[in-house]
Structure 1
Amino acid sequence: MCCWPPIDGVLPECAVDARPSSSVLRDALPSTARLVRTFNHLGFHQLEALRRRAGAQDRTDLTIR
């Protein structure tokens, strides 16, 4: 499975396949499986930094379609 180098470092198994990890996973699953990606654009450190109390005017939301 591919990795995120800033967090995981450069792993040899990721260097073999340059495709995004979701593409690698999709190809490894049965054709009847449905793959859903979430939180792909935010790292854990951003979620912590953006945390606000319920009702705060400057809260951040994530839209999921």
Structure 2
Amino acid sequence: MKRMRERDAPAPPGYKDVVLRLPDTSSPAFQAECRRQARLLRDDPAEADHAAWAAAAAAVLDLDT
């Protein structure tokens, strides 16, 4: 497997290895926490303002093309 060989190779000069710990998004506990947080934000006026800002920024960047 090429990815394993790349991972096991020493880092090039000037670089160092970094380990990233990411949540398991398929975990039922993670999914439940996402739903819980989404429910908290659903009726928050500030969240609606943030969503509108993000939509306007995306429109300016034209990310759909």
TM-score range, shorter chain: under 0.3
Higher relative contact order (CA 8 A, sep 6+): 1
Query: Taking structure 1 as the reference length, what is the TM-score of the superposition?
Result: 0.28
Q: State TM-score, norm by structure 2.
A: 0.28
**Highest Rg: 1 or 2?**
2
| Larger relative helix fraction | 2
